[in-house]
């Protein structure tokens, strides 16, 4: 039913649940290396988030814990990432450690607050 | 082969997969060392609870066949800080193991592995004897140990068994089995660890090498010819010192060799080091290429009455900007490349890793008077600075180089692997062919969570195309099977967080609005996993 949507929710010690949606670059990799259908064209919409199309790539902003689309990168952040010199992903082979953390992040779409307890694994309810 | 908590994992580098794990210890393994015997390799694993075990693997058998030597190496009480082992040239299938604990004890065991190489009996005849006990004050706790045999340059004299101890007092202590190692004689194959009281003073201190300004955390020695040994010491002061130890035969033994410590240069010239340290880190400095002049030796000691070892500071390697964490001499192998102009044997090279995110291969520059310079500098600096260790390389804590010198493996802080392979330039797509020049390129290797996995979910419930897992290492990772071969690899790292991650869920949108995701800590972590795997 959710085939092709490529969305996950994660919860951590901070008691916040975050929603992530796969970026284009990861879908390309899944298609090229693993022959997994990328389900393009699926509109992702949840609780008013206006993410009607997939972003190309995500990054972690200097401040904050939510991954953002690379379109929102400031010039300084862009320069800093370029300076690190991580070679871009061409998906000829599996990604390296540095590429995993620089190129394959998923952008955070929605954050759910107001949890009163530590979140633990509870998939059965969804 | 690497230690994972209380397991030892044996990995196949070419296939990028773990072939087997060895489990016998309950404590976290703190030190692994290995030595080659005639037909097998012995691996010594020491753990934080003082338990030291030996695993053996025959070269003729499958890589997954490892046998645990039943007897433990007992005697140490505290957590093992470092261990080292070396095989003995004089006898086959015998080796010595030295290990030190955080309480200041150092023990040396002599192990004869018996006939285990030949028969397939589950309990090989193995005798283990403690041959020496050394006690340090706590201020001299051993941080690194290297035990090796120094060649004597004389085929009649047995090699000199020596222990180098890098200490937290920033010095290297040298212990020598002065009169040669007296092998424990027959009758000791009782199967248990026995002590031979007469041998407990076998090793005696012959000198101390000052020079480093911080803890000496790694040592490596290699014999380069029949009388010379090179010793490299790496320290948390970011410097590597290369020492040369040369054996000379004294004709009239009585004259000068009465005392084991002939001379120790006390007026140590610290000024030399200071000036070197002030140089820019980009310009590696190597100084103090001492001539083989006895007067300039830092230390001399005598062995077997007629052989004098002189120890010189060969070079000071400045190029790292943070702690040096591991050192390894590159084996001298013949170059099999097609280039006819290349030398027949690879020159002496040293491989070092550091917390400054660099792995460096050092070699003496023969055109510049033998000054040691970095030949290759490898590193991997991806990931956001200040992030969690799952997305950030803080530095290399260990490294190793393959026996054929074609691959280098670094272990990042946290546990990430960084494999680099040497390829001909023509194979590297972005560079033009420049003849026989070789380049080092990073290649994918094992990845995985550094902490306990707390939850996982399939991409969808019908097909399960990929798996998403979250862990206490603060990362969320996506694993999928490759089309060629079907092995599972990490394809994406959706989230690198600042908090431990506890749960992950794949949600179908049609049901979402009517579903509550809120969860409580009353549910066990395993429950979610069972739900999908069953």
Query: Domain locations in chain A?
Result: 7-120
Cβ(B203)–Cβ(B132) below 8 Å: yes
pLDDT for res B68: 83
Q: Pairing mode, if any, of strands B358-365 and B501-506?
A: unpaired
- What is the ipTM, given to two decimal places? 0.84
Task: Give the CA distances from residue B76 to residues B134, B169, B334, B503, in Å, rounded to whole numbers and listed in that order.
Answer: 11, 21, 41, 42
CB atoms within 10 A of CB B137: 8
Buried b (16+ CB within 10 A) or exposed e, B323-341: bbbbbbbbeeeeeeeeeee
Query: Residue A40 class from Cβ within 10 Å (0-12 exposed, 13-18 middle, 19+ buried)?
Result: exposed
A57 touching chain B per CB within 8 A: no
Model confidence at A41: pLDDT above 70 = no
Dihedral sign, Cα of residue B313, residue B319, residue B323, residue B325: negative
Distance CA B186, CA B112 (A): 11
Min CA distance, B234 vs chain A (Å)? 26
Cβ(B431)–Cβ(B467) below 8 Å: no
Cβ(A108)–Cβ(A59) below 8 Å: no
Average pLDDT, chain A: 73
Domain spans of chain B?
A: 26-319, 325-335+347-446, 453-533
Which residues of chain B lie closer than 8 angstroms to A82, CB-CB?
A: none
Can you give the pTM of this predicted structure?
A: 0.78
pLDDT band at A59 (very low <50, low <70, confident <90, very high): confident
Min CA distance, B217 vs chain A (Å)? 26
**CA nearest B405: which of B358, B337, B338, B341?**
B337
pLDDT for res B191: 44
Joined tokens for residue B320: 């790292």
Joined tokens for residue B10: 């044996």
CB atoms within 10 A of CB B283: 9
Which residues of chain A lie closer than 8 angstroms to B442, CB-CB?
A: 96
CB atoms within 10 A of CB B430: 8
Residue with tokens 């330039």: B425
SS3 assignment, position B487: coil
Min CA distance, A11 vs chain B (Å)? 5
pLDDT for res A53: 66
* Residues of chain B below pLDDT 50: 116-123, 185-192, 253-295, 335-344, 386, 429, 431-435, 508-534
A-B C-beta contacts closer than 8 Å: 236
Phi, psi of B272 (to 5 degrees): -55, -40
Q: Least CA distance to A28: which residue of chain B?
A: B491
| Residue of B417, B490, B494, B528 for testing the chain A interface, max A β-carbons within 10 Å | B494
How does pLDDT run across A74-113, given as a tens digit for each residue?
787 777 777 777 778 888 888 888 888 888 888 888 887 7
Min CA distance, B61 vs chain A (Å)? 31
A93 touching chain B per CB within 8 A: yes
Which residues of chain B lie closer than 8 angstroms to A7, CB-CB?
A: 506-507, 509
- DSSP element (H, E) containing B488: strand B488-496
| Residue of A1, A3, A9, A10 for testing the chain B interface, max B β-carbons within 10 Å | A10
Cβ(A94)–Cβ(B482) below 8 Å: yes
Q: Least CA distance to A42: which residue of chain B?
A: B509
Which of A:101-120 have CB within 8 Å of B?
Answer: 101-102, 104-106, 108, 112, 115, 117-120
Min CA distance, A1 vs chain B (Å)? 6
| Cα B100–Cα B102–Cα B105 angle in degrees, nearest 5 | 45
pLDDT for res B253: 44
| Residue of B384, B412, B423, B528 for testing the chain A interface, max A β-carbons within 10 Å | B384
pLDDT for res B358: 87
Are the Cβ atoms of B502 and A26 closer than 8 angstroms?
A: no
Q: Work out the percent of chain A whose per-residue pLDDT is above 90.
A: 0
How does pLDDT run across B389-433, given as a tens digit for each residue?
666 667 888 888 887 778 888 888 888 888 999 887 665 545 444
Joined tokens for residue B203: 């090793």
| Residue of A8, A64, A113 for testing the chain B interface, max B β-carbons within 10 Å | A8
Closest by Cβ to A10, choosing from B460, B476, B489: B476
SS3 assignment, position B415: coil
Q: Which CATH number fits domain B26-319: 2.120.10, 2.40.160, 3.40.50, 2.40.50?
A: 2.120.10
Residue with tokens 């000496």: B216
pLDDT for res B388: 56
Distance CA B319, CA B279 (A): 10
Buried b (16+ CB within 10 A) or exposed e, A87-102: eebebeebbbbbbbbb
Dihedral sign, Cα of residue A66, residue A119, residue B514, residue A23: positive
A63 touching chain B per CB within 8 A: no
Residue B129 CA from chain centroid, whole number: 25
């Amino acid at each position: 039913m959710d085939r092709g949507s490529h969305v996950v929710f994660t919860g951590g010690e901070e008691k916040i649940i975050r929603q992530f949606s796969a970026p284009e670059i990861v879908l390309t990799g899944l298609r090229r290396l693993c022959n997994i259908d990328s389900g393009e064209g699926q509109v992702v919409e949840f609780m008013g988030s206006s993410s009607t199309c997939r972003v190309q790539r995500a990054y972690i902003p200097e401040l904050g814990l939510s991954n953002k689309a690379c379109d929102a990168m400031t010039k300084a952040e862009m320069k800093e990432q370029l300076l690190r010199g991580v070679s871009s992903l061409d998906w000829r082979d599996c990604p390296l450690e540095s590429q995993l953390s620089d190129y394959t992040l998923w952008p955070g779409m929605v954050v759910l607050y107001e949890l009163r307890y530590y979140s633990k694994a509870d998939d059965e309810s969804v | 082969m690497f230690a994972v908590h209380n397991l030892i994992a044996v990995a196949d580098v070419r296939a990028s997969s773990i072939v087997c794990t060895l489990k016998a210890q309950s404590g976290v393994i703190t030190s692994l060392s290995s030595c080659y015997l005639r037909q097998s390799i012995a691996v010594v694993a020491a753990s934080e609870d003082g338990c030291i075990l030996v695993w053996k693997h025959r070269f003729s058998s499958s890589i997954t066949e490892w046998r645990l030597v039943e007897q433990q190496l007992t005697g140490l009480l505290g957590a093992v800080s470092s261990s080292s082992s070396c095989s003995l040239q004089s006898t086959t299938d015998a080796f010595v193991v030295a290990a030190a604990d955080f309480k200041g004890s150092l023990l040396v065991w002599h192990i004869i592995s018996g006939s285990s190489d030949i028969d397939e009996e589950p309990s090989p005849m193995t005798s283990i004897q403690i041959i020496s006990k050394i006690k340090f004050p706590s201020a001299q706790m051993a941080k690194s140990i290297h035990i090796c045999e120094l060649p004597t340059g004389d085929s009649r004299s047995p090699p000199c068994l020596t222990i180098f101890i890098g200490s937290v007092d920033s010095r290297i202590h040298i212990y020598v089995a002065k009169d040669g190692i007296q092998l424990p004689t027959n009758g000791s194959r009782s199967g248990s660890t026995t002590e031979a009281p007469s041998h407990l003073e076998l090793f005696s201190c012959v000198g101390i090498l000052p020079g480093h300004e911080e803890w000496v955390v790694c040592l490596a020695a290699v014999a380069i010819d029949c009388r010379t040994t090179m010793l490299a010491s790496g320290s948390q002061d970011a410097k590597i010192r290369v020492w040369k130890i040369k054996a000379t035969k004294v004709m009239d033994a009585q004259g000068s060799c009465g005392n084991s410590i002939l001379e120790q240069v006390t007026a140590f010239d610290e000024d030399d080091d200071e000036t070197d340290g002030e140089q820019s880190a980009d310009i590696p400095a190597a100084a103090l290429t001492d001539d083989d002049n006895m007067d300039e030796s830092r230390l001399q000691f005598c062995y077997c009455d007629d052989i004098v070892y002189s120890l010189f500071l060969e070079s000071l390697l400045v190029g790292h900007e943070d702690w040096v964490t591991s050192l390894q001499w590159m084996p001298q192998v013949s170059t099999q490349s097609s280039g006819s102009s290349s030398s027949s044997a690879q020159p002496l090279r040293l491989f070092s890793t550091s917390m400054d995110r660099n792995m460096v291969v050092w070699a003496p520059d023969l055109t510049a008077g033998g000054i040691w310079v970095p030949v290759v500098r490898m590193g991997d600096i991806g990931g956001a600075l200040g992030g969690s260790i799952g997305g950030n390389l803080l530095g290399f804590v260990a490294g190793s180089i393959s026996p054929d010198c074609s691959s280098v493996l670094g272990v990042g802080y946290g546990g990430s692997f960084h494999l680099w392979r040497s390829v001909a330039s023509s194979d590297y797509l972005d560079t033009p062919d420049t003849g026989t020049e070789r380049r080092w390129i990073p290649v994918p290797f094992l990845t995985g969570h550094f902490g306990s996995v707390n939850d996982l979910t399939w991409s969808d419930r019908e097909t399960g195309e990929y798996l998403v897992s979250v862990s206490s290492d603060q990362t969320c990772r996506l694993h999928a099977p490759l089309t060629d071969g079907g092995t599972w690899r990490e394809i994406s790292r959706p989230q690198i967080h600042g908090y431990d991650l506890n749960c992950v869920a794949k949600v179908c949108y049609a049901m979402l609005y009517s579903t509550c995701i809120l969860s409580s800590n009353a549910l066990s972590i395993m429950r979610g996993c069972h739900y999908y795997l069953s």
